[in-house]
Amino acid sequence: MLLDLTITQLSQGLKAKKFSSEDIVKECYSNIERLNPSINAFITIIDKDVALKEAHNRDKDRGSDSSVLHGLPYVMKDSYNTQGIRTTAASNVLADYVPPYSSTVYQKLVDAGAILIGKTNMDAWGHGASSENTDFGPVKNPWDQSRVAGGSSGGNAAALAARMTVFAIGEDTGGSIRNPSAWSSTTGLKVSYGRVSRYGCIAYVSSFDTMGPMAKTVEDCAHILEIIAGIDQYDATSSPQPVPHYKDHLRDKLTDLTLGLPKECFGEGLDTEIKASIMEAASLYKKIGINIKEISIPLLEYGVPVYYLIGTSETSSNLARYDGIRFGQGRGEFTKETMRRIMLGTYALSAGYYDAYYKKAQQGRTLFIKEYTRALSECDAILMPVEPMVATKFGELINNPIQNMLADIYTCQTPVGVPSLALPCGFTKENLPIGMQIIGNMFAETLLLRLGYAYQNNTDWHTKKPNIGEHGK
């Protein structure tokens, strides 16, 4: 299958005329037509003839200096505004909303010659860890269709795992890229805050939201990030920090580096198979010359309350704009989970409670920044789980609001703005994917990608794909 190839391999094959963009697009639609009815990864699928016409044009105008993404089909989480193409955030509030402008990330991909083939399903407004909190039906995990795909970027991960796309663009606030990547055996990068423009992406928590790549491999993520990263005049929070040539540094030697293992992440509550897989990964890193050191992050247990107090407060403000006059549907269309978060946030911001809750959470956030600065002064990067459990059965998270929030225990630690790379590191006895994450200092994406690339060069977990149809039929 062409869709088993990496972005590098596909780009080289296209330039050598071994196959065409039309061939790749046809393969995507063949898999979408065959698998999406059961997986439900998409909210909007671009008309096949439109995509094929664009692929034909990309084949005609391809040159030796064309972008590595030129002519490659991809999908976007349905939180990105795409001019002329419906954008819903998986909510009936925006069921018929067609934006008059495009997000910066989408425009950069258009300019690079990539071909959008669909907008993917997600937890409505980013509110969830399972892609069950959606008005367009839950996303099923291609590895076991009785289980969730993770969230909130679950549609992206499912489409990647099922080979319905070459790559995907997600959004991560407190784990929304990393969680589904871990549960689907794909690779995803939560970038440093400000590394990629947020302009045109529907906000969940404005001070946390990050836009990033999801793909089959670390190398693919490096290619995508190099194109979508950078300062943007439309986003005052985007960073002027220069964008490195990430792909050119993937093979740099990893010398005198130390990976920290936070002892708080490997105690009670962590699935034993997940712990064993990550310890095996640590052993592999040790074999290739990287030092492994136990560290401590004592504030870890406070991550969930700090994250959710700030998160619900900001989302209650952000969602106030979605009235029926401007967007077509009334606020009564919000799901129970979204209404719960609006009420929590409104309460935390209300008179008499602001100091006790929101202000206290912001103080806690400052302590987390100091905590991670201290921890990362003892090591170059941190290795830890993405989730305490493997992909859950349907209903286990969406019907238990507290458990739904606690699923973010290891991923909501990044409101401090630091980047984190999630990648496959094994499977359980039931053949369910296991993922790990590597966290670094601000704008340390180059290092994280090098570490991830070295790991994938010495393992083959990322090459595995599900035998769809075995479960859940």
Three-state secondary structure along the chain?
Answer: CHHHCCHHHHHHHHHCCCCCHHHHHHHHHHHHHHHHHHHCCEEEECCHHHHHHHHHHHHHCCCCCCCCCCCCEEEEECCECECCECCCCCCHHHCCCCCCCCCHHHHHHHHCCCEEEEEECCCHHHCCCCCCCCCCCCCEECCEEEEECCCCCHHHHHHHHCCCCCEEEEEECCCCCHHHHHHHCCEEEECCCCCECCCCECCCCCCCCEEEEEECCHHHHHHHHHHHECCECCECCCCCCCCCCHHHHCCCCCCCCEEEEEHHHHCCCCCHHHHHHHHHHHHHHHHCCCEEEEECCHHHHHHHHHHHHHHHHHHHHHHHHCCHHHHCCCHHHCCHHHHHHHHHHHHHHCCCCCHHHHHHHHHHHHHHHHHHHHHHHHCCEEEEECCCCCCCECCCCCCCHHHHHHCCCCCCCHHHCCCEEEEEEEECCCCCEEEEEEECCCCCHHHHHHHHHHHHHCCCHHHCCCCCCCCCC
Give the span between the Cα atoms of 218 and 209, in whole angstroms. Answer: 21
Candidate list 67, 176, 197, 316, residue with the active-site label: 176
Q: Residue 11, preceding bond cis, omega within 30 degrees? A: no
Q: In what order do the strands lie in the sheet with 42-45?
A: 42-45, 115-120, 73-77, 167-172, 210-215, 187-190, 420-427, 433-439, 381-385, 258-262, 291-295
Candidate list 11, 20, 21, 77, residue with the active-site label: 77
Give the span between the Cα atoms of 431 and 358, in whole angstroms. Answer: 42
15 is catalytic: no
Query: Which residue's entry shows tokens 């291609």?
Result: 142
Candidate list 103, 152, 192, 277, residue with the active-site label: 152
313 is catalytic: no
Give the span between the Cα atoms of 182 and 323, in whole angstroms. Answer: 35
21 is catalytic: no
Residues annotated as catalytic are 77, 152, 176
